[in-house]
Amino acid sequence: MNKFFLNFFSETKIFYFFIVILNVSLVIDVAICTSPEFISENIKSPFGLLGFILITVISIYGQIYLTKFTEKNDKETLFKSKYLFILSKTNKIACYILILNLIVVVLSIILFSTFSIINLLIANNISCFIGSFILGLFGLKFILWFKERKNSYNLLFYGLGFIFFSFCNFIIFMSDTFLLIEKPLLLTPNMPIIYPDIDDNIFDILTNYWSYLQTISFIMLLIASYLLLYHYTEKIININ
């Protein structure tokens, strides 16, 4: 399919096209997930099923395309660094497991109008552990770089930001895992939507900590980005 598009568009335009389409699909997906009343009324319709399959296909192809695009442009860097090579392979394996899991969900919905809670647990836990692991390693790497270059505070803020983001990611995904365990084994479109009661229990505490950690990580990454842009702005001014 890439060769077909390359006959009409440049590789850069194709890349931006898939970025836009992928983001639009994800925005629609998140918007639907935040409106469960809408889901219960329309998800059983042919249009709802077709929309779900379309978003799934776009997400799968977009993920595969971005993975191959990244490997193609960073092949030399990956072979030079065993650290980045292992992370890249780990991320690639996790992506393909998630894609296979998503295909199983789609086929189960089409053939049996149901899917297993196990599929959600697989997706949630892979996202939790792999995502938190990679973010945490990036954070530690930035801090180690900062120890070598004491004057580069943007490295310190990036490192702290990624570490806080890693904790934030782990907390929210693990909270979802414990809530998913309480669900029935098989999920159907006729099941009522029930919000979990998380007030005054461990999930309420975790959610509060998640909000603080998310805010701290955002501030850290924002400061790091400002320092990096300031540094490059100074270099451009000095050159001119």
Q: What are phi and psi of 115, to 5 degrees?
A: -150, 165
Residues 100 and 206 in one domain: no
Q: What are phi and psi of 163, to 5 degrees?
A: -65, -45
End of a domain among 84, 113, 142? 113
Residues 135 and 32: their CA atoms lie apart, in Å, by: 28
Residues 127 and 109 in one domain: no
For residue range 12-22, what is the model confidence (pLDDT) as tens digits? 676 677 777 77
Residues 123 and 239 in one domain: yes
Residues 83 and 133 in one domain: no
End of a domain among 61, 78, 113? 113
Residues 27 and 47 in one domain: yes
Residues 72 and 159 in one domain: no
pLDDT of 8? 47
Token pair, residue 122, equals: 């697989």
Residues 221 and 192: their CA atoms lie apart, in Å, by: 40
Beta-carbon contacts of residue 155 (< 8 Å; ≥ 6 apart): 142, 143, 145, 146, 149, 224
Residues 106 and 154 in one domain: no
Residues 102 and 124 in one domain: no
For residue range 129-180, what is the model confidence (pLDDT) as tens digits? 888 888 888 888 888 888 887 677 888 888 888 888 888 888 878 777 877 8
pLDDT for residue 193 is more than 50: yes
Range of the domain at 238: 116-240
pTM over 0.85: no
Query: Among 225, 84, 216, 226, which Cα is nearest to 160's?
Result: 216
End of a domain among 113, 138, 170? 113
pLDDT for residue 1 is more than 60: no
Q: How confident is the model at residue 33 (pLDDT cuts 50, 70, 90)?
A: low
Task: State the chain's mean pLDDT as an integer.
Answer: 76
Other C-beta atoms lying within 10 Å of the C-beta of residue 228: 15
Percent over 70 (pLDDT), the chain? 72
Residues 85 and 47: their CA atoms lie apart, in Å, by: 42
For residue range 84-135, what is the model confidence (pLDDT) as tens digits? 777 777 878 888 888 898 889 888 888 888 888 888 888 888 888 888 888 8
pLDDT of 78? 62
pLDDT for residue 26 is more than 80: no
Strands 115-116 and 186-187 turn out to be antiparallel
Domain count, the chain: 2
Residues 86 and 122 in one domain: no
Residues 43 and 79 in one domain: yes
Residues 147 and 34 in one domain: no
The CA R_g of the chain, rounded to the nearest whole Å, is 21
Residues 133 and 163: their CA atoms lie apart, in Å, by: 10
